[in-house]
């Protein structure tokens, strides 16, 4: 497809292969030159995500794309969504999940993983202790693994201090979740990701972590994803925690273009957000859709990448019990062209009356009528975010928290008009409450995943497929890594040519091909892979 042509721009072929020659200089200066060369070639291209892009291995991190993108940097907070009894508190839990799903960008560097190939798939699991719940429901639940004690942050406590909190509400062993689909079987212990991918994260873990305590009950969260299209690049994913009756699914597809000195990343046409289903217990039947904001990769010309976020994330709730529902808007504040980024965010949770549609036009905090707002929050999506319920009273014009947004959109919020039967369930019509911590992202670390050993993997599994590229990158043998990478890419082109010659189409193994709903259902083989991951032996268990 050709881009528009005018006097000042050349014709650009969006499907033309882009390659950047390896300068042979693996130092920062050499990498920067290659990056600048790449940016120049992408100028004027409408969507660089649809281009056949071949980079030298020296510009890549040793991690496959399907492993890098999974939205489960904090699987314990994902599993906690279904725990609260009240629908308002479940919405709070989804907001917390939305802030932590990409925690890698708070603590880690921006990196370029390997491009996925058609038919490639990745599966993994986490075994995490359930979060602990303070007796005061306005306080955030306390993660019990992979935390740090941030300065002036009272939100994460030592394990010995948890006597005043409510740990999980079930006394059953978390291992019972493994048998949700079928009875467990013994297998080879799972392995952790290559050390180079996790060292910077785990090195900062504090003694509050219970990750290695065998006496702590655990929740099994499993994940499966598959590349289902190559032009455009699209992958489908599914995750679940059967013990907590929670599942997540969706489509990963991005659209990207160079804008000035940044790369702007938007959701692609099939990417309609992250869908979270509650399949039992509290909130049974509720479905949450978490939309994606717009991200920008900055610092390209300096070779020091960082992410900023703009526009809004919208969280809608449907299904479940009939009646008033809650909806959340997370609005990312515009960054100044000059000076350092502040990563500020503000948002509201508001009510939606059954049958109405006017709220679909509300995409920013200022759009929401004040009599619909039931809670407000603000802060930094890289630090601490605070919140409070709103009843009678004023939203203050100034804030004591240095992380808070300096210009809130709501100055006065009145008591919302809620039907009596809904008010009794949500408890939001009382007087304004004090601010509490919604989430402290500076105190949380990425929870490493567990994967099967390479000898158990199929040839199409990400780590097995890219094994030779990864091993050469870790040895800093960039020339050999590039050769292995080119071999994989050529094999994909050969397979595509063979299908074209035979007049056949690629059929995914683990997901159905239909993408129009914004997600893809698991096939029989997909459910089989999920069951296998649920049955993998607990890596930290003993004597089983």
Among 42-46, 92-96, 219-223, 464-468, which stretch is predicted with the lowest mean pLDDT?
Answer: 42-46
pLDDT of residue 110: 81
* Distance in angstroms (rounded) separating the CA atoms of residues 391 and 397: 17
* Distance in angstroms (rounded) separating the CA atoms of residues 30 and 229: 33
Strand duo 246-252 + 274-278: pairing: antiparallel
* Distance in angstroms (rounded) separating the CA atoms of residues 91 and 406: 25
* Distance in angstroms (rounded) separating the CA atoms of residues 74 and 243: 17
pLDDT tens digits, 433-448: 689 999 999 999 999 9
Two tokens, residue 493: 């082109």
CB contact at 8 A, 238 and 522: yes
Evaluate whether residue 196 is within a structural domain. Answer: no
CB contact at 8 A, 383 and 441: yes
Q: HEC string of 308-328?
A: EEECEEEEEEEECCCCCEEEE
Angle at CA 509, nearest 5°, toward 506 and 510? 135
pLDDT at 45 over 50: yes
Strand duo 254-259 + 219-229: pairing: unpaired
Sign for the CA dihedral angle at 242, 244, 245, 251 comes to negative
Flag whether the pTM goes above 0.85: no
Give me the domain span that covers residue 305. Answer: 53-144+218-391+434-535
Two tokens, residue 64: 């496959």
pLDDT tens digits, 362-398: 999 999 998 899 999 999 999 999 999 985 333 333 2
With cut-offs at 50, 70 and 90, classify the pLDDT of residue 18: low
pLDDT of residue 537: 82
How far is residue 455 from each of residues 438, 448, 452, 467, 468, measured CA to CA in Å?
43, 20, 8, 11, 14
Question: 3-class SS at 75?
Answer: helix
Evaluate whether residue 324 is within a structural domain. Answer: yes
Helix (H) or strand (E) holding 200: helix 195-202
Q: Which residue has the higher pLDDT, 238 or 434?
A: 238
Residue the block writes with tokens 């890596």: 539
pLDDT at 260 over 90: no
pLDDT at 463 over 50: yes
Q: How far out from the chain centre does Cα 471 lie? A: 27
* Distance in angstroms (rounded) separating the CA atoms of residues 374 and 387: 11
User: Do you know the residue count of the chain?
Assistant: 544
- Beta bridge pairs of residue 384: 440
Residue 248: which CATH number?
2.40.160.120
Angle at CA 143, nearest 5°, toward 142 and 148? 105
- Return left, alpha or beta for 136; rule: phi > 0 is left, psi -120 to 50 is alpha, else beta: beta
Strand duo 53-54 + 18-19: pairing: parallel
- Beta bridge pairs of residue 266: 255
Evaluate whether residue 21 is within a structural domain. Answer: no
Q: Which residue has the higher pLDDT, 122 or 58?
A: 122
Share above pLDDT 70 across residues of the chain, in percent, rounded to a whole number: 67
pLDDT at 279 over 90: yes
Evaluate whether residue 207 is within a structural domain. Answer: no
User: Residues with Cβ < 8 Å from 151, sequence gap 6 or more?
Assistant: none
Closest CA to 385 of 354, 349, 351, 353: 349
Evaluate whether residue 211 is within a structural domain. Answer: no
- How many domains does the chain fold into? 1
Long-range pairs for 369-374 at CB < 8 Å and ≥24 separation?
Answer: 370/410, 370/412, 370/413, 370/414, 371/414, 371/415, 371/416, 371/417, 372/416, 373/348, 373/349, 373/410, 373/413, 373/416, 374/88, 374/326, 374/349, 374/350, 374/416, 374/426, 374/428
pLDDT at 241 over 60: yes
Residue the block writes with tokens 């100034």: 398
Residue 305, Cβ neighbours under 10 Å: how many? 16
pLDDT of residue 47: 62
User: Residues with Cβ < 8 Å from 215, sequence gap 6 or more?
Assistant: none
pLDDT at 48 over 50: yes
Q: What is the mean pLDDT of residues 248-263?
A: 86
pLDDT at 111 over 70: yes
Strand order in the sheet with 306-310: 254-259, 262-267, 294-298, 306-310
Evaluate whether residue 357 is within a structural domain. Answer: yes
CB contact at 8 A, 426 and 418: yes
pLDDT of residue 29: 54
pLDDT at 245 over 80: yes
Closest CA to 435 of 387, 495, 382, 483: 387
Evaluate whether residue 29 is within a structural domain. Answer: no
Segment of 32-46, 78-92, 214-228, 288-302 carrying the highest mean pLDDT: 78-92
pLDDT of residue 426: 37
pLDDT of residue 145: 93
* Distance in angstroms (rounded) separating the CA atoms of residues 171 and 217: 9
Evaluate whether residue 16 is within a structural domain. Answer: no
């Amino acid at each position: 497809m050709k881009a528009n042509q005018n006097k000042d721009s050349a014709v650009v072929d969006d499907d033309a292969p882009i390659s950047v020659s390896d300068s042979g200089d693996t130092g920062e200066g050499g990498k920067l030159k290659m990056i600048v060369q790449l940016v120049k070639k992408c100028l004027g291209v409408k969507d660089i995500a649809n281009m056949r892009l071949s980079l030298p291995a020296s510009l890549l991190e040793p991690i496959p794309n399907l492993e890098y993108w999974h939205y489960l940097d904090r699987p314990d907070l994902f599993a906690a969504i279904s725990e609260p009894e009240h629908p308002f508190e479940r919405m709070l839990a989804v907001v917390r999940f939305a802030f932590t799903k990409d925690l890698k960008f708070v603590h880690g560097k921006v990196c370029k993983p390997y491009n996925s190939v058609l038919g490639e798939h990745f599966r993994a699991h986490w075994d995490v202790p359930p979060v602990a719940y303070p007796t005061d429901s306005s306080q955030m639940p306390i993660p019990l693994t992979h935390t740090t004690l941030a300065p002036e942050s009272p939100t994460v406590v030592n394990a010995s201090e948890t006597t005043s909190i409510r740990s999980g509400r079930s006394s059953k062993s978390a291992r019972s979740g493994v048998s949700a689909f079928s009875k467990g079987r013994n297998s080879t212990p799972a392995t952790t990701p290559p050390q180079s991918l996790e060292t910077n994260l785990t090195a900062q873990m504090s003694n509050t972590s219970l990750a290695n305590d065998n006496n702590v009950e655990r929740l099994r969260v499993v994940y499966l994803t598959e590349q289902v299209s190559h032009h455009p690049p699209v992958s489908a994913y599914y995750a679940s925690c059967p013990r907590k009756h929670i599942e997540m699914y969706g489509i990963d597809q991005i659209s990207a273009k160079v804008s000035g000195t940044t790369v702007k990343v938007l959701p692609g046409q099939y990417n309609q957000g992250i869908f979270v289903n509650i399949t039992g217990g509290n909130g049974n039947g509720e479905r949450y859709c978490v939309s994606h904001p717009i991200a920008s990769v900055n610092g390209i010309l300096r070779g020091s990448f960082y992410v900023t976020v703009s526009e809004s994330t919208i969280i809608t709730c449907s299904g479940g019990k009939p009646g008033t529902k809650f909806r959340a808007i997370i609005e990312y504040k515009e960054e100044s062209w000059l000076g350092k980024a502040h990563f500020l965010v503000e948002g509201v949770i508001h009510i939606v009356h059954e049958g109405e549609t006017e709220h679909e036009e509300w995409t920013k905090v200022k759009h929401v009528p004040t009599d619909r707002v039931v809670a407000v929050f603000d802060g930094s999506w890289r630090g601490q975010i605070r919140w409070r319920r709103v009843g009678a009273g004023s939203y203050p014009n100034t804030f004591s928290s240095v992380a808070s947004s300096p210009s809130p959109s709501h100055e006065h919020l009145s008591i919302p008009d809620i039907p009596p039967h809904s008010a009794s369930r949500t408890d939001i019509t009382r007087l304004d409450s004090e601010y509490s911590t919604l989430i402290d992202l500076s105190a949380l670390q990425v929870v490493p995943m567990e994967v099967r050993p390479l000898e158990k993997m199929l040839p199409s599994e990400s780590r097995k497929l890219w094994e030779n590229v990864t091993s050469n990158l870790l040895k800093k043998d960039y020339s050999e890594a590039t050769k292995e990478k080119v071999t994989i890419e050529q094999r994909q082109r050969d397979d595509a040519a063979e299908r074209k010659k035979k007049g056949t189409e690629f059929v995914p193994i683990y997901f159905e091909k239909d993408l129009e709903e914004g997600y893809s259902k698991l096939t029989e083989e997909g459910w089989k892979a999920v069951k296998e991951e649920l049955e993998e032996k607990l890596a930290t268990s003993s004597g089983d």
